[in-house]
Every structure is written in structure tokens, then in C-alpha cells.
Structure 1
Amino acid sequence: MEGEPVDKGRYQRLVGRFIYLSHTRPDIAHAINLMIQYMHDPFSSHIEVEFRVLGYLKIVLGNGIQFSPSNNMRIDTYTDADWVDSLDGRHSTSRYCAFVDDNLVTWHSKKQVVVSRSSAKVEFSCNGL
């Protein structure tokens, strides 16, 4: 880890606020997912990530989710599972998102609890999201 240990309570409170905010801001969901991984042992480098996300949100303050009207309803879903993409814990991450027309309506990203030895096991374990 980089930097000095920081106040865990302060870090966790701000991450909790980011989680709440991510329901309407999917653009920060990945950064929040990374922050959550260090909830129990944060360092100053992790606080810097929080400040970067705050700076980003300040720049894009007026942006948010906007739904566009359409006459033809179409539902598209996308899924992905990586095989040991994380170097920190060697756990795979599965994720999905769903669109109604061109509007994002749901998404999810989850780090798997088991370490897979092959990509087939990763794909199989993603069925139980």
C-alpha cells in the first residue's frame, strides 16, 4: 500500500456517500467498487482517489441520467466476467448492465468470493450473482 494509514471511519463515511450517489451516477460506479476494496485498511493514496472522484463530480455537476423517448422498446443486456483481473486478491469480477432502448436502467459489478483456476469456472460461478 502507498502512503500513511488514515482514519478508517472518515474513509468509510465518504465511500458510503459515494455508494448512495452511484444509484444516479453510474459513471463513478467502477471507482467506487475499487474504493470499497480498501474499506477496512485505507491509506492516504486511497483518500486521494476519493478526492479525485469529488473533483470529477464537481466538473460534471449538471450531468446525470437522462432518458430519451422512443417508439420502439428494445431491451439489451451485456455481461462480462474476467479471469483474475485483480492483482490484489486474485479474485474474478463479474458484471452486467441492461438498457431499455438506449437508457441504462440497471448494472451490477461483483468480485467473486472464490479464486477460480480457469475461465470456465469463472463463467459458471457468475450464474449465482
Structure 2
Amino acid sequence: MSDLSDTGTTTRRQVLGAAHVARAQAAQTPFDAPFQALIADAAWGHVWSRGTIPLRERSMMTIALLAGLGNDGELALHLRSIPNTGASRDDVLEALLHVAIYAGVPRANHAIALARQIFAEADAQGTPA
């Protein structure tokens, strides 16, 4: 692993949680290993690990982009990770209000419903989200 991969993996663990990263690494195959390396280096090493914007703000940007693009699987993952980034549920709502204006009400409506579901599940389990 390169220093960039190490940094990216550390940040990925911090944001998404060690259990998620361990599951992703355990499920890795020779086919998707290059993609996993790309994610570790580019997304988590180059972008998320930059010191210019705090994790809270990166989280909000990511949530807004994923919601606006309709990427529900990744959106759910990042909604569950907000306790790790310092973002709050109020922050999520603010990001999704921006989605409504700049990406469309249907996308925001769907993302808000997904966030409500994830937050209700977290509340029922007594876990942060």
C-alpha cells in the first residue's frame, strides 16, 4: 500500500466506520480490487483526506450530491456515517433543502424519506445517526 492508500483507508474508516471498511475489504475479489484501490486512493486519499474542508462539510456536500444524483445506496451509507463526521440531522435537512432547489423536489423528497427511515432505524436501535 502507498502512503496515499494508507491515508485514504484511515479516513474511510473514520468516516464510514471500521466495520464497514472491514466488510468491504473482506468481500473484495480480484475482479474489483483495482476499483477498491481507486476508491482508497482517489476518493478517500486525495479528496476526503485534504485538510482544507472539515469532514462535516465534506459529508454535507457528499450527501447533497448523492441525493441530487439519486445514488440511494451510497446516500444511505453516508447518512449513516454522519455521527462520525460531526454532521447533525439538522445539517442533513439543510443539505437536502438545497437539493430541492438546485437538483429538484422529487430527488429531495426521496432523499428525505430515506433519511427519515435511516434515522428511525438508528433511534429504534439506540445508535447515533
TM-score after normalising by structure 2: 0.29
When Rg is computed on C-alpha atoms for both structures, the one with the higher figure is: 1
Q: Which of the pair is proportionally richer in strand?
A: 1
TM-score after normalising by structure 1: 0.29
Q: Which of the pair is proportionally richer in helix?
A: 2
Higher normalized contact order (CA 8 Å, seq sep 6+, divided by chain length)? 2
